[in-house]
Amino acid sequence: MALAFSTAPILAAALLTPSAMAQLTTADILGTVTDATGAVIPNATVVLTNVETHDQRTATSNGSGDYQFTLLPVGRYTVTTKSSGFKTATTNNLAVEAGDRARADVHLETGGEEQTVNVEAQTPLLQADNATVSSTVTAKAVQDLPLNGRNFVQLVQIVPGANEGPGNGLVSGGRPDDRRASASFSVNGQDDTLNNFIIDGTDDNERVIGTIGVRPNVEGIQEITVETNSYSAEAGRTAGGVVSIITRSGTNQFHGSAYEFFRNDIFDARNVLQGTGRKPELRQNQFGGSIGGPIFKDRTFFFADYEGLRLVSGVTYTSSVPQIAQYNQINSIGGGTPQQLIAQGNGTQTYALDPIALAYLKLFPAPTNAGVTNNYVVSPSKTQTSNTFDARVDHKFNGNNNLFARYTYNKVDTNTPQALGTQNGLAISGGRYIFAGPATDKAMQYGLGYTHIFSQNLLVDLRAAYTRINNLSLPLNNGTAPDTKLGFGSNMNFNNLSSFLTPIQFGGFSDIGDGAYVPLQDIDNTFQYSGSVSYTKGNHNLKFGAGLIRRQARNVQSAFAAGQYTFGLSTDNVASTTQTQINQLASSLVGAFTGESRNYDLNPPDYRSWEPSFFALDSWKVNPKLTVLYGVRYDVFTPFTEAHNRISNFDFTQASGSTAATVGSALKVAGVNGVDGHAGIKTDYSNFAPRVGFSLSVNPKTVVRGGYGLSFFPGNYTSNADLKNAPFVSVYSPNCSQALTALRIQTNTTAAGTPGTTANPTAAASFNNHCFTPGTTTISPTYDGTSNFAAGLPLPAAQTLNSNSLSFVAENPNFRSALIQQFNLQVEEQFGSNVFTVGYVGNLGQHLAQTINNINSPAPFNPLTAPASAQNLRLQTQLPNLGGVGWLSSGGYSNYNSLQTSFQRRFTKGLAFDANYTYAKALSTNTGFSQEGNQGWSNGDPTRINAIDYGVAENDIEHRFALSVNYELQYGKNFTGLKRLALGGWQANTILVWQSGKPFSILNGGQNDFTLLPSGAAGSVYGNRATPINGGGSDRPNKIGNAKGPKTLTQYFNTANYAPQPLGTIGTAQRNSEFGPHFRHIDLSIFKDFHITERVNLEFRAEAFDLTNTPDYYIGNNNVANAQLGSSTFGQVTNYDPNYNPRQLQFALKAQF
């Protein structure tokens, strides 16, 4: 569906209010003109010439001898200075990068103007006029450093304070929300969805999950600047890094390239944990080219590039399916008549079988090994086709007017394979969170920039852009109505958004069915208009600007459009895994499901929001040594509206203070009963962000810099922020019991193959709310097997407050924009062509978005000793007539402190490098906008969540060292003939990263249902949790010791340090109390250049990723068994980090002219 609205008012605003991001993509050149004695020279004429395009600007030194050029495109410049009575001075090849305030002081000698003194510029290394903490990735680094998949985000991950984000997060490339290459990185302890991407001075962000908009091709990137602390007032809407990408433009000479990068699994190392067997398949080809040059010399230039990717990549899946004996029995059974229930362990009792359950069970494949679990291992191939295109035109109307236009296009088609193959003509995902199936991700952006020079002191820069993203992810069996083929009625696959195989969990086996949260379609439209004015007066460089962004987002996604079922009676579980499986299969065959639900969006929302912004700043040259920078930024992030008012918010605070009869008034439906289009959520107008910094040149080789500032940023449209509530969604989720003791058939039978007894007459079962719950009847051998499973799920319908167990996602009506305070103090020292930087970098986060899974939860209590009123756990909640209420507030906070050092060398004499080390500590109450407490607090006490959960942040990396090197062998550069062919033109490039381990929480699992209290003491039924009414997650246990672990793969941490907490109490183990193994990897590339002609060069590349094939072992932080108290693998290391790949080799040919 196309999203549209009138742009007329925004165009008018753009013409009246000039931009906010020009300095993030441009540079300044400034200096002081003096004579041989050091006295300043006023009224000197300074002419600045762009070497590549011959564009010129002219300035006159002021009374202090100072001159300044602002809003310059990055590149190389010549500075020519003239003054009466002095020789003309020319400084050649002064290179500037984005964000630079490059100082080029001029010393004039006495003589005639016709005499010229030429000086070769020394690239400015010290930031003598800037307070922002930033790093620049040069064009050479972008083009030459080894990048796995040619993903420029890897270059951002190695700047000081940055690290890789989670390999399974929303922006990792492995989720249905966005299948493109990973855009995941964390800066200074912040979440990987809180960064700000900018291309050519325009916004490049999408707001559904918080990732990059369009991704330019590496071949089309001029340079990348990453600001990490004390941003200029021009930068906003971020807590992490500001990543500013400048695309390449043409020059007066034609330049271009053509290349092919190739990979094959025959060159790759084996996954250490895989052992023997065939390696997963890998066939990868990346190819493309670029061309740029003049259309009209000195006036109009163009640049264009294309890159294609064709990938076939094996994916190893390890699943649990019925053992071969169980598989054979299932597939030998007919349906509909009394049959023996898995005779292997259940005697000769016979029951009528549910034909649909049987049809589903027959979709399990035969195991590939004899294991009890993890007995089906396959490596099907994932395929991906990607096409990226960039085109840019720059035009100079005259010396005072310049225009550029750019178009970027991405399209990625991905097919993620299923884990359990194809059975009976149906593709079997094998896991609802594998997200198998086809996906298409498309993004495009039009960008426009115009600069007008009124005078040497007054410039205006205007920018406009339109970005569109369309991501579509589908389930494997989409559109085939497979449920109907298996015997369900039309109420399951009732339309095109639910026409796939309903996922079912059978006991401890892998899922049968398609994935959750698909079909998914996100359509984002972003319209933006901005401008800035730069005015120089005396020793002040003033800038003012404003911007306006209009965002639109359509989100088509239901959690379980076709529903889901669970078969998993707790009474089936016994000590023997095999016997437990038999019991679970027997219960499944008679349709004894323990959970069913459907979550369906009746009206997919079309979100709308505005983001106006304003800024003002001044760079004040107090004296030749001291520059003070100060300014303020103001942002407004309006809560989104919905184009048709199809959103609602539940005011939990109001509801919890109301009687049951008036709770309905707490449901705020947009546009109903006086509720505004924001569903009652207020706009935060308090986002004033002052910023101040200084730069002091202690001497020509030493600079001290520091800064402090505030930055505000909005949330995304995901998780509990989406306001998908009644009456616009349908949630069917009756309460089901897991205690159907009448089906524990194995306890009432004799040995296999001999007659058995009937079920225990004291046990009973009946149907209630569509599920099995304890009842008054007895299952006997004559039980006809009639179950509600065959009836399927009710058709989705709008809900009211009278609906059974109605749940909400709710947002605090006074939700505030998140705020981060940033501060730094650094010292820079220049040694020849090298700069060493050491400093303190920190931040404090306030009003951070924070989700509580279920705020409608009681305080901790022990249900076994509670008074009679606690016999129904639901009555202990604040709103007993409701189910869970997910609560989004802005009550989180964080802090980050670090020592950051770097040693840099810009490319000189064939060598460039950047080595940096960060020692840091990040603490928080939560991480990320969509954080839902999955690190072990389990809704134990929503009123004390910050006190309970404040601890080590998920992105805390205590130690991290990163090194990047570009080295061109100087030996042989001037050889000719065969000597040059053999010995000349060699180059080596490397990226090395070492970091300490990632944090994780120790968890103590348990039940998550509203089970009625048993008559006897049975604390284990509640899994020793603080609150038995948990809606998800796991509690943390008590920590009873601090002994260090052996740090081996079989026992990494000391498991004796933890014990179950008493029922009804909060565990003493802190969030993220343990750290996993450290990471290390080295990527290396070797180049050999062959000069075909004077202007044509052919380059052969050999690249190795993870050269030493060092495994990155990992203990996950999301309820994984290795960190689960009581698990058989508790304390062990059995997995790799999701970002890890074994050593891969890549070869390439690249022609350049």
How confident is the model at residue 996, as a pLDDT?
Answer: 96
Which of 36-45, 320-329, 936-945 has the highest average model confidence (pLDDT)? 320-329
Amino acid at 308: G
Q: Which CATH superfamily is domain 11-120 in?
A: Carboxypeptidase-like, regulatory domain (2.60.40.1120)
Q: Nearest CA to 444 among 521, 556, 530, 526? A: 526
As annotated, the residues of the chain forming the CATH 2.60.40.1120 domain(s) are: 11-120
* Main-chain dihedrals φ then ψ at residue 399, nearest 5 degrees: -65, -15
Confidence band (pLDDT; 50, 70, 90) for 912? Answer: very high
Q: HSE-up of 627 (CA within 13 Å, CB side)?
A: 25
Name the residue among 969, 966, 963 with its Cα closest to residue 989: 966
User: Taking a C-beta distance cutoff of 8 angstroms, is the pair 612, 14 a contact?
Assistant: no
Q: What is the largest CA-CA distance in the chain?
A: 119
- Compute the average pLDDT of residues 307-321: 94
Q: Which range (120-129, 398-407, 1054-1063) has the least confidence? A: 120-129
Q: Select the more confidently predicted residue: 741 or 513.
A: 513
pLDDT tens-digit map of 533-547: 999 998 899 999 999
Does residue 489 carry a pLDDT above 70? yes
Q: Is 134 or 738 the better-scoring residue by pLDDT?
A: 134
| Enclosing H/E stretch for 514 | none
Q: Is the separation of the CB atoms in 1063 and 864 below 8 Å? A: yes
Place of tokens 């390999």: 167
**Residue 376 above 70 pLDDT?**
yes
Give the pLDDT mean for 1006-1024.
39
In this prediction, residue 750 carries a pLDDT of: 31
- Which one-letter amino acid corresponds to residue 758? T
Q: How sure is the predictor about 437, in pLDDT bands with cuts at 50, 70 and 90?
A: very high
For 322-326, 777-781, 1097-1101, which range has the lowest pLDDT when averaged over its residues?
777-781
Closest CA to 349 of 711, 686, 757: 757
| pLDDT in the model for residue 402 | 94
Sheet strand arrangement including 116-120: 56-60, 45-50, 75-82, 88-96, 116-120
* Higher pLDDT pick, 781 / 891: 891
| Averaged pLDDT, 400-414 | 96
Map residue 74 onto helix, strand or coil: coil
pLDDT at 917 over 80: yes
**Contact assessment for residue 140 and residue 155, using Cβ atoms and an 8 Å cutoff:** no
Locate the DSSP E strands across 216-368: 221-229, 242-247, 255-264, 282-296, 300-314, 317-319, 338-340, 350-352
> Parallel, antiparallel, or unpaired for β 667-669 and 648-650?
antiparallel
For residues 751 and 922, which has the higher predicted lDDT (pLDDT)? 922
% of the chain residues with pLDDT over 90: 50
Residue-wise pLDDT for 134-169, tens only, equals 888 888 899 999 999 999 999 999 999 999 988 878
Query: Which pLDDT belongs to residue 755?
Result: 30
Low-confidence winner among 511-520, 780-789, 951-960, 1056-1065 (lowest mean pLDDT): 780-789
pLDDT at 865: 62
Residue 343 has pLDDT above 60, yes or no: no
Handedness of CA 580, 586, 589, 593 (dihedral sign): negative
Q: Please tell me the predicted confidence (pLDDT) of residue 873.
A: 61
| Interval 390-394 mean pLDDT | 97
Looking up tokens 């930087």 gives 837
Angle made by CA atoms 153, 159, 160, in degrees to the nearest 5: 145
Q: At what angle do helices 577-589 and 324-332 cross, to 10 degrees?
A: 20
The letter for the amino acid at 53 is T
Q: Which helix (H) or strand (E) holds 585?
A: helix 577-589
Instruction: Read off the pLDDT of residues 576-625 as tens digits, 9 standing for 90 and up.
Output: 888 888 888 888 887 878 888 899 999 999 999 999 999 999 999 999 89
Q: Is the pLDDT of residue 1023 over 70?
A: no
At 15, is the pLDDT very low, low, confident or very high (cuts 50, 70, 90)?
very low
Say yes or no to pLDDT of 129 above 60.
yes
Tokens representing residue 226 in the block: 């990453």
- Residue 1118 pLDDT grade (very low, low, confident, very high; cuts 50, 70, 90): low
Which pLDDT band, with edges at 50, 70 and 90, does 973 fall under?
A: confident
pLDDT digits (tens, 9 = 90+) for 795-848: 998 876 666 567 888 999 999 999 999 999 999 999 888 999 999 999 999 999
Structure confidence at residue 857 as a pLDDT band (50, 70, 90): confident
Question: How far, CA to CA in Å, does 945 sit from each of 510, 874, 893?
Answer: 34, 21, 12
User: 624: which 2 tokens?
Assistant: 């030749």
Residue 939 has pLDDT above 60, yes or no: no
Q: What value does the mean pLDDT take over residues 883-908?
A: 91
**pLDDT reported for residue 183:** 85
pLDDT at position 676: 96
Cα–Cα distance, 419 to 434 (Å, whole number): 8
Q: What average pLDDT score do residues 45-68 get?
A: 90
What residues contact residue 631 under an 8 Å CB cut-off, 6+ apart? 232, 233, 543, 615, 616, 617, 618, 690, 691, 692
Q: Identify the pLDDT of residue 933.
A: 38
Q: Give the model confidence (pLDDT) of 673-707 as tens digits.
A: 999 999 999 999 999 999 999 999 999 899 999 99
Q: Are 427 and 436 in contact (CB under 8 A)?
A: yes
Mean pLDDT across 491-509:
93
- State yes or no: pLDDT of 746 exceeds 60: no
Q: Are 614 and 634 in contact (CB under 8 A)?
A: yes
pLDDT tier for residue 981 given thresholds of 50, 70 and 90: confident
pLDDT at 760: 32
- Residue 188, pLDDT > 70, answer yes
Yes or no: say if 528 and 203 are a contact pair by the CB < 8 Å rule. Answer: yes
Q: What is the mean pLDDT of the chain?
A: 83
Statement: residue 438 has pLDDT above 90 = yes
Instruction: Tell me the C-alpha distance between 1024 and 201, whole Å.
Output: 54
Compute the distance between CA of residue 439 and CA of residue 475 in angstroms, rounded to an integer. Answer: 9
What's the whole-number mean pLDDT along residues 1036-1047?
89
Query: For residue 122, is pLDDT > 90?
Result: no
